[in-house]
Amino acid sequence: MCGIVGYVGKNQAAPILLDGLAKLEYRGYDSAGIANIVDGKIEINKAKGKLAVLSDLVDGGSKIDSTIGIGHTRWATHGKPSDENSHPHMAEGGKFAIVHNGIIENYIELKANLVASGVQFKSETDSEVVAHLLEKHYEGDLLAAVKKTVEHLEGSYALGIVCTDYPDRFVAVRRSSPLIVGISDEGNFVASDIPAILAYTRKIYHLNDGDIVDLYADSVKIYDSELNPVMKQVEVVTWDVKAAEKGGYDCFMHKEIEEQPRALHDTISPRIDEQGKIVLDGVNLTKEDIEKCDKIYIVACGSAYHVGIVGKYTIEKLTRKPVEVDLASEFRYRDPIVNENTLMIIISQSGETADTLAALKEGKRMGARILSIVNVVGSSIANESDDVLYTWAGPEIAVATTKAYSTQLSMIYLIALYMADKLGMISEEELRSNLSALLDVPNLVEEIIKKNDPIVRELAEKYKEIDHAYYLGRNLDYAVAMEASLKLKEVSYVHSEAYAAGELKHGTISLIEQDTLVVALASCSKVLEKTLSNIEEVKSRGALVLTLTSEGNTAVESVSDHVIYLPKTKEMFMPSLEVVPMQMLGYYMAIARGCDVDKPRNLAKSVTVE
């Protein structure tokens, strides 16, 4: 959610800020603004609506004569979308302006105290309290005022702060909300995510919670929360700038669907050595560690949670270890049974998901060992974990995840096979056979995309007027049905739900009427006949049925209006194949219905508030 960009350097700041904010549009927002120091005063320009509104307001930033500034795209949490509630916010005296990502949980108390002292607020936001607190605590030392201010804040925040007394520097702070520092010969940056500054520098610092950054045109100084200097190692971003651009595609989602074969190859191949053994870089789980583990929790949100459901089926089958899958937003509030013999697998694309990070910290406090699967090196979840596995998916810009989900699935397979091998639960021959099949998954995904693109495009045109859709499956098929349903609803705005097929008769079948779309996933051989019976139940009530199944399962044709056949592989890996046409269906349905595919309404890419 939201996006921050800050710059101080040799060049005109406003065009750089606007360009950086444009690269963060994928995060979701409803307003945008920038603050620059011009002739010793803070000049703020902000507007409700798309970034283009702000850009037009300031002529692309060309007329703002300043080499320092902070910018923001806002996704409303406190206060409706409006010009007044847009960031940046300025203190009454005009000395400070701030941008803020996150939520100040104690803002009501802070605001009440400030109002009692005579401060007048101009917005409904929680963020504005920060600007007024800075002014209250300022006694000539900028860093001291920042330190004292953040000591009063509860919640999550990434802050960018400018002060008129210092037209050559700005300060940034990070706690439980993503923020990176970029350094270059032309100036220095802060940003919520790498794409915002990748056109200007590849050299970055990752920040830890509590870090305070003091940025000048030619230097960057980093301190901990007590203002003790912190030394950071410069990291170099290796992926190409073009990886964060559309590259000729109309939408990032389309591009990222088609990038999945490469992303899967890059994630899987380095983890399987020439001897046919799994090498999990960054993981130090020994046989003894796995043997003493009496419970595994998989904790995640959204699509990552659906990966966890696949993980439960797969890990339990291969290791016979009990696995619970929890929504991160619920985990902390149900008093989970966690101890030093618990392994928690945390899944997050960004590594900054607020609920997931909070659940991780709670599990760690209770003694669990933390193994995380993330896509962003140096992210908060990665830094807090005992073991980290990175998916090498590259930047994922579209709000609806595709390649991140697929690479997370591949990591779950590798973890399950790794643990089974360590425990002696799988023979050498079985392991080699499974790994050979897993290495072939990228090729099969590429085949599915090429073969089914015109088919799914045509189906989307047929289905585009529907109001409801229901996804059915059993076992691993049900796990994929959950993700497939989410893909449709989040980008095309069609109401859809996923159900375990056996639960139809317990209420859901009452929703089936003539021409209701039912998507049936039917690849699990041991429950195929039962799934066919469930398909017959909805078909007999007038449903329009689209079935996904493995090649050779022609029996589905008699109860289906349309069938998509998938190449055969180990059934454990079928989720990786099934999900691809479902992503494509969501995408093409959204296109057919005229939706903004990459930026669905009310959604954000990185959910950094609870």
Exposure string over 184-195, b if 16+ CB within 10 A, otherwise e = eeebbbbbbbbb
Exposure string over 38-48, b if 16+ CB within 10 A, otherwise e = beeebbbbbbb
Alpha-carbon distance values, 529 to 422, 479, 552 (Å): 35, 18, 14
Q: What is the CA angle 120-14-189, rounded to 5?
A: 90
In 501-575, the DSSP E strands lie at 517-522, 544-550, 562-566
Catalytic residue among 46, 95, 539, 605: 605
Q: If you search the block for the tokens 């009530």, which residue do you land on?
A: 541
**Distance of alpha carbon 361 from alpha carbon 573, whole angstroms:** 31
- The answer to whether 46 touches 58, Cβ cutoff 8 Å, is no
Neighbours of 63 (CB within 10 A): 9
Strand 31-38 relative to strand 41-48, pairing: antiparallel
Interacting residues of 240 by C-beta distance below 8 A, sequence separation 6+: none
**Distance of alpha carbon 559 from alpha carbon 522, whole angstroms:** 12
Q: If you search the block for the tokens 């966890």, which residue do you land on?
A: 308
605 is catalytic: yes
Alpha-carbon distance values, 425 to 38, 274, 428 (Å): 68, 22, 10
What is residue 20's three-state secondary structure?
helix
DSSP letter, residue 88: P
Q: 584: closest CA among 492, 498, 471?
A: 492
Catalytic residue among 2, 163, 301, 524: 2
Q: What is the 3-state secondary structure (H, E, C) of 374-399?
A: ECCCCCHHHHHCCEEEECCCCCCCCC
Q: 145: closest CA among 124, 171, 184?
A: 171
**Distance of alpha carbon 363 from alpha carbon 15, whole angstroms:** 44
Residue 219 — φ and ψ, nearest 5°?
-160, 160
Longest alpha-carbon distance in the chain: 79
What is residue 32's three-state secondary structure?
strand
Q: 496: closest CA among 522, 525, 526, 519?
A: 519
Q: Which helix (H) or strand (E) holds 155?
A: strand 155-163
Interacting residues of 334 by C-beta distance below 8 A, sequence separation 6+: none
User: How buried is 113 (Cβ within 10 angstroms: 0-12 exposed, 13-18 middle, 19+ buried)?
Assistant: middle
Instruction: Write 39-45 long-range contacts (CB < 8 A, 24+).
Output: 39/65, 40/164, 40/167, 41/94, 41/164, 42/90, 42/94, 42/95, 42/96, 42/97, 42/162, 42/164, 44/88, 44/90, 44/97
Q: What is the 3-state secondary structure (H, E, C) of 174-239?
A: EECCCCEEEEECCEEEEECCHHHCCCCCCEEEECCCCCEEEEECCCEEEECCCCCECCCCCEECCC
Strand 68-74 relative to strand 89-90, pairing: unpaired
Which positions are annotated as active-site residues?
A: 2, 605
